Structure 1
Amino acid sequence: MIVAAVLFAYAALLCTLAPRLLRGAGWAERAPRLGIVLWQVLCASALTAAVLAGLALTVPTVRVGSDLAQLLQACVMALTAQYASPGGAAAGAAGAVLALAVLGRLAWCTGAALVRIRSERREHRTVLDMVGRADPVRGVVVLDHDEPAAYCLPGRHRRTVITTGALDALDDDQLTAVLAHEHAHQAERHDAVLAWAQTLAVAFPRIPLFHDAEAEIDRLVEMRADDVAADRSGRLTTAAALLAVAGGRTPAVALAAGGSTAARRVRRLIEPHRPLSRLRVAAGSLTAALALAVPLLVVGGPAAAATQLNYCPDGTPAPQVTTMH
């Protein structure tokens, strides 16, 4: 019971307090890739803690002997002891419902999101093949449209799309920056990162952590792509390129250089660049690693300790059942 309670408390703290501490954090804008990783890790850690809490209530931990028969006997006796009492049976049933509900909801929403995304991308590729024309020199699909816009359609059959309006509005250096931005989205699979965050927000809409993670990751992946483009073409050139394509309309299934966050990103590129120190990056990486490890350590500690003890030592007439609750 103690392990389950600790895991529940840990998951609750992550889901409620972590968004308040991280939402709009200034350091994340200085190291967007680290910010993306930390938000993803916190979401994964909260989910893992919730599932393991349910399993901890459902399946007791037993002391393990060296003999397989003794191990099986210990497992049967531990389960029998737990479910023999009304309280133990209720706790086990509640734990099973929690674990299955979380995993089932996540699997359903993930499957639905994958089907929807695949269908939308396929339909948009068909449209692009019909109305766009390939530019093999630049490696893009050009659409005849006066509105300046640039975006990438990710996936196995990826496309980088740019309008004739954008080609007219951008000089060569700015065009290079825009294309570098879109290629960064594709190379770092930002579509998968965003799809996972959006799936969690849809699956568990009332949990602040997942709601805020979707918004923050959406903002940070664009900043990360901006940084890649700035490394290639310079920060001011990238800022000018973003301004030129900021108002362009793009399909929801695509990743665009413009968008609603463009104004803040332009200001960020114009301001003096202040990357995080190596010490703070290391501290953030360590925090992410610890957050991911905590649920496993909470469960693994008692389980590891149990393996060091004989459940049915020689000469003992009957094994003694212990649980990790």
Structure 2
Amino acid sequence: MIAALSLLAYALMLALAGPRLLRASSWADRAPRLAIAAWQALTVTVLASLALAGAALTFPTVTVSRDLAGLLQACIMAIQEQYASPGGAAAGATGAVLALTILGRTLWCVGRGLAGMALERARHGRILDIVGRDNKQHGIVVLDSDEATVYCLPGRRRRTVVTTGALQALDEAQLAAVLAHEHAHLSERHDLILGFSRALAAAFPGIALFRLAAAETARLIELRADDAAAARSGRLTVAGALLAVASPGKTPLPSIALAAGGAGAAARVRRLIPPHNPLGRARTAAGSLAVAALLTLPVLLLGGPAAAAAGHNLCPGISTSASSPAA
């Protein structure tokens, strides 16, 4: 019971305080890749803590034994003892419902989201096959449109789409910059990261943490792609390219497309104008350790009591002779 309550308290604390800490300063804009990992770790840890809390209520923690037969007998006796009382049975049933609901809802929404992304990719890919023209010089698909739009279509047949309006608005250096931006999206599989965040937001719409995580992830993957493009083409070149494709077009893009311009482009341009100010190795290492600690602590909260009791007598009803060959 202590482990379950500790996990529930940990999940509640993270859900309330985690977003405030991650959005409290501008460090995320200076290290978007680390910030993406932090948001992903935060959401996964909250879900894992709730699911493990349910499992801890369903199956009571027993002490660790060197004897497998004794451990199994201890597990059976502990479960029988818990479910013998109405309160223990109610707690176990509540824990089972909690764990199964979280696990089932998460798997269902993530699976449905991935399937929907695959269908939309295939549908839009067929449209590109009909109306698009391959440009082998730049490795892009060209669409005839007056709107200056650049976006990528992830998946097995990953493609970068550039409209004729964008080709007219961009010079060669700016075109190389936006292509590097889109290639960063494709190579780092930002579509899967964003799809996972959106699936959790759809699975648990009543929890503000997941809505914030999806919105921040969408913003941070654009910052990360901007940084990858700036490392190749220069920050001012990327800023100029974003200005050229910043206006959202009248034709809506598919939800799976990751576009260089669109909403938030103005803020991204302002971020690129000052000189680059990275977070620094020490703070990046500290942040990485914090992300690892987020994921590790739920396991320690659940397994700590059992590990601390290793070698102790398993149950009052089991004597030391229970582990003898005769037993």
Instruction: Compute the TM-score of the two structures, normalised by the length of structure 1.
Output: 0.94
SS for the counterpart of 1:134 is strand
- The question of 1:285 aligning with 2:288 is answered yes
Partner in structure 1 of residue 98 of structure 2 = 98
Query: For the Cα contact (< 8 Å) 1:64–1:308, is it kept in 2?
Result: yes
Query: For the Cα contact (< 8 Å) 1:66–1:310, is it kept in 2?
Result: no
Q: Which 5+ residue runs of structure 2 have no aligned equivalent?
A: none
Out of 259, 262, 282, the residue aligned to residue 259 of structure 1 is 262
Q: Deviations over 1:83-129 (max 9, x none)?
A: 00001000000000000010111111112111211111110000000
SS for the counterpart of 2:157 is coil
Moved more, 58-67 or 222-231: 58-67
Partner in structure 1 of residue 72 of structure 2 = 72
Partner in structure 1 of residue 50 of structure 2 = 50
Q: Deviations over 1:278-300 (max 9, x none)?
A: 22112211111111111011012
SS for the counterpart of 1:307 is coil
Take 2:69 and 2:45, find their aligned partners in 1: how far apart are those partners? 35
Query: For the Cα contact (< 8 Å) 1:113–1:199, is it kept in 2?
Result: yes
Q: Deviations over 1:61-94 (max 9, x none)?
A: 2234333332222111111000000010000000
Take 2:163 and 2:85, find their aligned partners in 1: how far apart are those partners? 69
SS for the counterpart of 2:309 is helix
Partner in structure 2 of residue 198 of structure 1 = 198
Check 1:166–1:85 CA distance in 2 against 1; reply closer, same or farther (3 A cut): same
SS for the counterpart of 2:134 is strand
SS for the counterpart of 1:66 is coil
Take 1:188 and 1:290, find their aligned partners in 2: how far apart are those partners? 24
Q: Which residue identity does 2:268 align to in structure 1? A: R
Moved more, 301-310 or 167-176: 301-310
Report the Cα offset of residue 313 of structure 1.
4.5
Partner in structure 2 of residue 15 of structure 1 = 15
Q: Which residue identity does 1:150 align to in structure 2? A: V
Take 1:267 and 1:24, find their aligned partners in 2: how far apart are those partners? 19
Aligned length: 317
Q: Deviations over 1:23-52 (max 9, x none)?
A: 363110011001101000111111110000
Report the Cα offset of residue 11 of structure 1.
0.3
- The question of 1:308 aligning with 2:314 is answered no
Partner in structure 2 of residue 298 of structure 1 = 301
Moved more, 179-188 or 22-31: 22-31
Report the Cα offset of residue 248 of structure 1.
4.1
Out of 266, 271, 274, the residue aligned to residue 268 of structure 1 is 271
Partner in structure 1 of residue 6 of structure 2 = 6
Partner in structure 2 of residue 247 of structure 1 = 247
Partner in structure 2 of residue 170 of structure 1 = 170
Identity of aligned residues (%): 60
Take 2:131 and 2:81, find their aligned partners in 1: how far apart are those partners? 69
Higher RCO structure, 1 or 2 (CA under 8 Å, sep 6+) = 1
SS for the counterpart of 2:320 is coil
Check 1:68–1:21 CA distance in 2 against 1; reply closer, same or farther (3 A cut): closer
Take 2:310 and 2:36, find their aligned partners in 1: how far apart are those partners? 37
Check 1:64–1:275 CA distance in 2 against 1; reply closer, same or farther (3 A cut): closer
Take 1:191 and 1:166, find their aligned partners in 2: how far apart are those partners? 23
Take 2:99 and 2:254, find their aligned partners in 1: how far apart are those partners? 36
Report the Cα offset of residue 307 of structure 1.
3.3
- The question of 1:158 aligning with 2:195 is answered no
Partner in structure 2 of residue 323 of structure 1 = none
